[in-house]
Amino acid sequence: GTPVRLPIDEDTPQHPESPYGITKKATEDYLRYWHDANGLNYTALRYGNVYGPRQDPNGEAGVIAIFAKRFLKHEPVRIDWDGEQKKDYVYVEDVARANVLALTGGDNNIFCIAAGNPVSVNQIYDLLAKITNYRPEIIHAPKRPGDIYLAYFDCQKAERILGWKPQVSFDEGVQKTVDYFKAHPDM
């Protein structure tokens, strides 16, 4: 749901506005319950918007993969709302590294895993235009239900306890994603 404060950290109150968000919160509640009742250790990771190679470019979510494929095929892209809505995008390799670190550290903790840098849909469009040297037609669409205008994370706890921080810059991650889709045009 819409964050009550920014940046979002592990103590930011959660108010899920969709079944997906409700199940994520419920999972954390179950983990805490099983820890308190039976001593089960857990580590939960709250991801920003994960992107990178192998992401499905044909789904409803994953704007970077969807746009990358459409830019490379010279197809129009759909931008919802005004395109100025900003999310916190984190590269898949950084997420994988966070998961590995969480296997041996951070017992009974929740960590935010993101880049801490809000990026707008329009900024994604402009970066992909620069990388691909192509500017596809934009089809404007209304706001999607449940979409939020601004969200980004404070990941200091993950850095302090797990020794994790993102290593792949947004520009580098988008370039790697485009390179992947160039090499795999069948996706």
What's the first-to-final CA gap in the chain, in angstroms? 31
CA pair distance 127, 150, nearest whole angstrom: 19
Residues 168 and 91: beta-carbon distance below 8 Å: yes
DSSP H helical ranges for the chain: 19-38, 63-72, 92-104, 121-132, 156-157, 170-183
Amino acid, res. 74:
H
Set 20, 47, 149, 152: catalytic member: 20
**Is the Cβ–Cβ distance between 125 and 67 less than 8 Å?**
yes
Active site residue 89: no
- Other beta carbons less than 10 A from residue 136's beta carbon: 18
Please count the CA atoms within 13 angstroms of the CA of 183 that sit on its side-chain side. Answer: 8
Catalytic residues, by residue number, are 20
